[in-house]
């Protein structure tokens, strides 16, 4: 008998299959090599395939969907409670097979190859920016050992470089100067690569109707708009903007028992990259609101009774909810009716 529901535990080379029929009886437990996986599912009639949303999950989701199967991805943390005991591939596949049938399970939309390509641009840019920061910090700290110091800020790098070039060899020995030149050359190379990636992201932004609509929201620019558009394949996965903000991790953690609920710090669950971008955008919105009190009464009212960082996270939460509304309704941001106008 053919299985109707399959739990697939992904791996690099050896995949574990756990399949049940319509009555829940196990009809297949099998290990497959990577080269055998597509042939195995090609011979099966269409069935429900559950997988954890981990590395390569979106690729295999696209491959199996093209064969006519219904593929559902689930966060690994939501599958874990269905593991009965122990930890091995067979147990994991069985847990996936059971979890995918739960009516309250939350699923992850399968991303297209184009969406993953845009996210790879973002990850590469983020990596280069972090490497540039490391190099700048290294240069500043090492030159400070020779008494060469400039004010903080990456835009002060040219001043620091000129200071090192003008320094006499009694202050900055030849070996130290050569090392500083190597670091500066590496920083300049990264700058060029970051600018090239940003041009590619801008091209993707101009080609995406969703990204262009997201950019109309205050505090959301090209980088944030393209990241949201590429990450959220289907905004309908979230019931409301509040669910979207909670998924990003911009809501307080709840500690409750016996009818008493206490709210703590934000949960920081979900997607950390989007959370970082939204908080950075909200920081700019809050700074602008301080100078334009008539345009953002809600923000300034919060600033009057809460610390600036708390207000920033509250604004980031609102930006996330507005972004969900813009995506799900197919509209642009209506500035006149918004509290962050």
Distance CA 134, CA 140 (A): 10
pLDDT of residue 336 exceeding 90 = no
Q: How confident is the model at residue 18 (pLDDT cuts 50, 70, 90)?
A: very high
pLDDT > 70: what percent of the chain? 96
Sign of the CA dihedral 241, 247, 251, 254?
A: positive
* pLDDT for the residue 293: 61
Contacts of 69 (CB under 8 A, 6+ apart): 41, 44, 46, 47, 48, 49
pLDDT of residue 178 exceeding 70 = yes
- Using DSSP, state whether 98 is helix, strand or coil: helix
Between vectors from CA 35 to CA 33 and to CA 40, what angle results, nearest 5°? 80
279-322: pLDDT as tens digits: 999 999 998 887 766 557 888 888 889 999 999 999 999 999 99
Distance CA 290, CA 287 (A): 5
Distances (CA, A) of 251 to 19, 121, 273, 279: 38, 28, 16, 13
Q: Judging by DSSP bridges, how do beta strands 26-33 and 14-20 pair with one another? A: antiparallel
CA 157 to mean position of chain CA atoms: 30
The residue among 165 and 254 whose pLDDT is bigger is 165
Any idea of the CA torsion for 210, 214, 216, 220, to the nearest 10 degrees?
-150
Distance CA 319, CA 281 (A): 9
pTM (2 d.p.): 0.88
Q: Please return the burial class of 110, using the count of CB atoms within 10 Å of its CB with bins 0-12, 13-18 and 19+.
A: buried
* pLDDT for the residue 341: 56
pLDDT > 90: what percent of the chain? 76
pLDDT of residue 1 exceeding 80 = no
Q: How confident is the model at residue 233 (pLDDT cuts 50, 70, 90)?
A: confident
């Amino acid at each position: 008998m053919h299985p109707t529901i399959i739990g697939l535990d992904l791996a690099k080379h050896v995949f574990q299959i756990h399949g049940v029929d319509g009555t829940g009886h196990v009809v297949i437990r099998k290990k497959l090599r990577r080269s055998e996986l597509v042939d195995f599912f090609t011979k099966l009639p269409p069935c429900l395939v559950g997988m954890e949303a981990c590395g390569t999950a979106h690729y295999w989701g696209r491959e199996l969907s093209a064969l006519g199967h219904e593929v559902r991805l689930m966060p690994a943390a939501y599958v874990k409670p269905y593991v009965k005991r122990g930890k091995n591939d067979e147990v994991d596949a069985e847990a996936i097979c059971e979890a995918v049938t739960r009516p309250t399970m939350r699923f992850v939309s399968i991303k297209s190859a184009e969406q993953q390509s845009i996210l790879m641009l973002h990850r590469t840019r983020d990596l280069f920016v972090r490497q540039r920061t490391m190099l700048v910090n290294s240069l500043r700290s090492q030159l400070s050992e020779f008494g060469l110091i400039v004010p903080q800020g990456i835009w002060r790098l040219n001043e620091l470089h000129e200071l090192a070039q003008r320094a006499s060899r009694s202050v900055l020995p030849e070996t130290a100067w050569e090392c500083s030149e190597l670091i500066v050359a590496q920083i300049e190379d990264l700058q060029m690569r970051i600018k090239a990636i940003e041009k590619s992201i801008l091209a993707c932004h101009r080609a995406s109707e969703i990204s262009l609509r997201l950019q109309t929201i205050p505090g959301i620019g090209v980088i944030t708009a393209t990241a949201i558009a590429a990450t959220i394949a289907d905004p309908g996965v979230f019931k409301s903007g509040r669910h979207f903000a909670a998924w990003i991790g911009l809501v307080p953690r709840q500690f409750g028992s016996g009818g008493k609920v206490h709210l703590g710090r934000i949960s920081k669950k979900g997607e950390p990259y989007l959370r970082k971008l939204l908080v950075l955008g909200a920081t700019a919105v809050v700074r602008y609101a301080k100078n334009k009190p008539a345009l953002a009464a809600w923000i300034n009212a919060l600033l009057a009774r809460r610390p600036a960082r708390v207000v920033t996270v509250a604004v980031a939460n609102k930006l996330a909810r507005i972004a969900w509304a813009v995506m799900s309704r197919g509209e642009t941001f209506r500035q006149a009716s918004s509290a962050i106008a």
